[in-house]
Chains A and B, each alone.
Chain A
């Protein structure tokens, strides 16, 4: 995969993530995907709070994103700072405006290949409509990845390697 084509796909994912944040009317949205080494990598975020959440989840190994990776279903958290199981994450994101988080799985071949996370800076519940909407957008992310990977003769994990490199060092 050429750098240019990886940049094009990364740009399209960024456009999509920014649209999701605007349509859901949330502070920001982030996207994590599994690379060919099965490591979760931050691909794009629409704001600093989502970037902090993704870094914190990768560093601590806990949070709604990792829960989604295990369960394969959306996870809605009214306040990550109030969840005892996320104590390791809470200390990392306490000052980053990460409170309410909604996470949805990105699925391909019936496997969870990543997660899409919506973040707000204040605690609140998530409506069924918001949860369904984020899940729908996660499915669109999967479509985008499958189309791009097929067009470039790659599998999605290797496409993810190229996308993560667009953002520099591994998460």
Chain B
């Protein structure tokens, strides 16, 4: 049983109440918004966003500097592919000189074209960079940056943005440790704790069924949804029994 120091509790509540920014989840969100705003202000870029792992082992967007950044993240989530998804999946910075025409992600390019046509991506979209965000050595998200025109990313630009990713990681680490950050911190805690079994499950399916990594992950997610079990539990079942929930031999 934990003891509660009444004086400390009262002082904490007073401090939290006196500073509207110190509202746990709100403060973490505000801090992450400040991180992406700072990134856009520091570097010669059109916009910036941040996506984090969700409880299904995928990504969801958290903050962005502008509507076009939101639309870019949305296009990646809806198409299931793109440079930021790849940076998250492969734990390495991924760039493209022109996101709209890159043959590696045709569905993402189509989704972007639809967003531009619908006006949800008001700004022009050219080069794009995603760099993984890690906590305790586990990839938990991606910092995503876009240019308004096609470009060749230089090594210096990539290095500087990767370094800026460390700033975002520091703020995420503080948020998780503060235990005041509610849903976001819980989401990140889950991602840290369960990423390894999910990755093992993906690897198992790749070997067993000859699937690409992306397709193996999609199969794991489908099994999670149809069985209504957390994706980490589905992955553990797979690697323990050799079968997904509901699969027959």
Contact = CB atoms under 8 A, between A and B. Distances in A.
Contact of B171 (A5, A22, A129, A140): A140
Contacts of B8: 153-154
Interface stretch (A26-34, A53-61, A69-77, A131-139): A131-139
12 contacts: A15-B166, A19-B170, A23-B163, A23-B167, A129-B41, A133-B42, A144-B170, A146-B22, A147-B22, A147-B28, A150-B22, A155-B15
A16 B177 contact: no
A108 B19 contact: yes
Interface stretch (B29-37, B51-59, B208-216): B29-37
Contacts of A151: 177-180
Contact of B167 (A140, A146, A150): A140
A76 B178 CA distance: 34
B2 to A, nearest CB: 12
Interface in B1-45: 5, 8-9, 11-12, 15-16, 18-19, 21-22, 24, 27-28, 30-31, 34-35, 37-38, 41-42
Q: Which of B11, B21, B181 has the most CB of A within 10 A?
A: B21
Nearest to B30: A143
Interface string A148-159: 111111111000
Contact of A154 (B12, B169, B173, B180): B12
Contacts of A5: 177
Interface of B is mostly: helix
A19 B167 contact: yes
Contacts of B22: 146-147, 149-150
Interface residues of B, number: 38
B163 A153 contact: no
B160 interface: yes
B176 to A, nearest CB: 9
Which 3 residue pairs across A and B have the least CB separation, nearest first?
Answer: A151-B178, A143-B31, A136-B38
Interface of A is mostly: helix
Interface residues of A, number: 32
Contact of A147 (B18, B31, B41): B31
Contacts of A16: 167, 170
Q: Which of B21, B22, B174, B178 has the most CB of A within 10 A?
A: B174
B24 A148 contact: no
Interface of A: 5, 8-9, 12, 15-16, 19-20, 22-23, 108-109, 129, 132-133, 136-137, 139-140, 143-144, 146-156
B175 interface: yes
Contacts of B61: none
A132 B180 CA distance: 29
B190 interface: no
Given A140-B38, A143-B31, A143-B34, A148 B170 contact: no
Interface in B130-165: 160, 163-164
Contacts of A133: 38, 41-42
Nearest to A149: B15
A110 to B, nearest CB: 9
B170 A23 contact: no
B41 A19 contact: no
Contacts of A147: 22, 24, 27-28, 31, 174-175, 178, 180-181
Contacts of B9: 153
Q: Which of B34, B167, B170, B175 has the most CB of A within 10 A?
A: B170
